[in-house]
Amino acid sequence: MAQTQTTPTTPPGPAAPARTRSTGAVLADALRGNVRQYGMLVALALIVVLFQIWTDGTLLKPLNITNLIQQNGYILILAIGMMIVIIAGHIDLSVGSLAAFVGAAAAVMMVKHDLPWPIALVFALLIGALAGAWQGFWIAYIGIPSFIVTLAGMLLFRGGTQILLQGQSIAPFPKGFQKISSGFLPEVGPQTNYHNLTLLLGLGVLAIAVLQEVRGRRQAASYGLELLPVGFFLAKLAAITAAVLVFTLLLASYHGAPIVLLILGALLVGFGYLMRNSIIGRHTYAIGGNEPAAKLSGVKSKRVVFLAFVNMGVLAALAGLVFAARLNAGTPQAGINFELEAIAAAFIGGASASGGVGTVLGAIIGGLVLGVLNNGMSLVGVGTDYQQVIKGLVLLAAVGFDVYNKRKVGS
């Protein structure tokens, strides 16, 4: 009888150690995967350096940094919502008019009817949500193109603003409401040359950022994934530390962190997590990338698109409130060209015209590119006509770069 020989089974050993690659390979892969966002981040740094030199150091003075944040806060809020809409494969032309309408409604509630400003703020955000739901219904469930629906919304909300205000500005707002745009964190602790609460906030942000980077590296190592070289990883941590500390010290040497910066920070963290880690975030990318395939995979595309426009309505309302608080008035001319600035910020920050691509951080970077360009050109005396020309060329270059990359990948 033949004997059957068996090969002894080797017990499974520990997981393979995480691999590291050369710095050149890591940089090449990172640039290939995030070429637009990294490119715009480098462009933002170069623009800052250029205008810092051109303005003899005025650009990065604490007062100007604070003004830059407060002047562009409402555009950055709109850019976050617009990025999500564009990722889903749509567009919203009504956000500027809706922001104006909500600002007008808030003025009527607070100034004419003496409604307490916290209650008026809640009602204003609800108006934005309802407006977004109205437009989202026609787009998602009836099937009318978003370009047409939001163009109609732009006319509707602009006319509604004129009707509410009767062609006149309404002012002033309560002091508490004004602080949404022009207020700062309160001063606490002993008297120093810096704003103590801003210093603590900056150190907290730095600690969280470094811990997240370290935790991410440990998780990658536990799964046996390829890791950044140690030198490159330490350089990345050093760059993050330097950027956060410099920015914190600049703000703390003036009045501290503006309230609008805290709002932006909360939106960036919240929506960044939502788009990266939640089911609805992944579904939004899937719909924008390939809607028919997403539907076959069980994605409820109508619901996702509807919620994207509800969210855009709420953020447009918030932007309108921030802008109204900055002006200290509800005015019929508010919100003009806001939609163009938000769309430009999203595309410059890495959104794709065909949908399915983009990040919330990219929207912020794109908005800052436009904001620093506006601020820097104003400081050196460039006229608004030339500013429009330069911003148009920047937008065209960003979208052209996206088209070029797609053709290169496809070839």
Q: Please indicate, yes or no, whether residues 399 and 315 belong to a single structural domain of this protein.
A: yes
Q: Please indicate, yes or no, whether residues 267 and 328 belong to a single structural domain of this protein.
A: yes
pTM above 0.85, yes or no: yes
Q: For the segment 3-22, what is each residue's pLDDT rounded down to a tens digit? A: 444 444 444 444 444 444 55
Q: Residue 356 is part of a domain; what is its CATH number?
A: 1.10.3470
**Residues 43, 36 contacting (CB under 8 angstroms):** no
Average pLDDT over residues 216-223: 84
Domain closes at, from 231, 257, 283: 257
For the chain, the helix, strand and coil percentages under 3-state DSSP, each to the nearest 5: 75, 0, 25
Above pLDDT 70, what percent of the chain? 89
Q: Name residue 266's amino acid.
A: A
Q: Please indicate, yes or no, whether residues 265 and 253 belong to a single structural domain of this protein.
A: no
Those residues whose C-beta lies under 8 Å from the C-beta of residue 17, and which sit 6 or more positions away, are 221, 224
Domain closes at, from 257, 283, 312: 257
User: What 3-state DSSP class applies to 64?
Assistant: helix
Residue 21 domain flag: no
User: What 3-state DSSP class applies to 265?
Assistant: helix
Q: Please indicate, yes or no, whether residues 233 and 266 belong to a single structural domain of this protein.
A: no
Residue 17 domain flag: no
Name the average pLDDT for the chain: 87
Task: Give the pLDDT of residue 30.
Answer: 52
Q: Please indicate, yes or no, whether residues 283 and 399 belong to a single structural domain of this protein.
A: yes
Task: Give the pLDDT of residue 24.
Answer: 58
Q: Please indicate, yes or no, whether residues 149 and 208 belong to a single structural domain of this protein.
A: no
Does 26 have pLDDT greater than 60?
A: no
- Between residues 79 and 192, the one the model is more confident about: 79
Q: Please indicate, yes or no, whether residues 313 and 395 belong to a single structural domain of this protein.
A: yes
Which range is least confidently modeled, 182-196, 237-251, 324-338?
A: 182-196
Q: Please indicate, yes or no, whether residues 400 and 324 belong to a single structural domain of this protein.
A: yes
Total domains present in the chain: 2
Separation of alpha carbons 379 and 95, rounded Å: 28
Number of CB atoms found within 10 A of residue 250's CB: 18
- Between residues 167 and 15, the one the model is more confident about: 167
What CA–CA distances, in Å, run from 238 to 26, 136, 202, 231, 232? 18, 44, 15, 10, 10
Q: Is 145 left (phi over 0), alpha (psi -120 to 50) or beta?
A: beta
Residue 3 domain flag: no
- Dihedral angle sign, alpha carbons of residues 48, 53, 54, 57: positive
Task: Give the pLDDT of residue 3.
Answer: 45
Does 129 have pLDDT greater than 90?
A: yes
Residue 286 domain flag: yes
Residue 290 domain flag: yes
Which range is least confidently modeled, 189-193, 268-272, 374-378?
A: 189-193
Q: Please indicate, yes or no, whether residues 198 and 81 belong to a single structural domain of this protein.
A: no
Does 205 have pLDDT greater than 50?
A: yes
Residue 27 domain flag: no
Residue 114 domain flag: yes
Which range is least confidently modeled, 8-17, 117-126, 129-138, 161-170?
A: 8-17
Above pLDDT 90, what percent of the chain? 61
Average pLDDT over residues 197-208: 92
Average pLDDT over residues 299-321: 96
Average pLDDT over residues 197-214: 90
**Structural domain containing residue 217:** 186-257
Q: Please indicate, yes or no, whether residues 266 and 403 belong to a single structural domain of this protein.
A: yes
Domain closes at, from 206, 241, 257: 257
Does 36 have pLDDT greater than 80?
A: no
Q: Please indicate, yes or no, whether residues 235 and 268 belong to a single structural domain of this protein.
A: no
**pLDDT band (50, 70, 90) for residue 221:** confident
Q: Please indicate, yes or no, whether residues 368 and 269 belong to a single structural domain of this protein.
A: yes
**Residues 340, 18 contacting (CB under 8 angstroms):** no
HEC string of 320-383? HHHHHHHHCCECCCCCCCHHHHHHHHHHHCCCCCCCCCCCHHHHHHHHHHHHHHHHHHHHCCCC
Q: For the segment 133-153, what is each residue's pLDDT rounded down to a tens digit? A: 999 999 999 999 999 999 999
Residue 6 domain flag: no
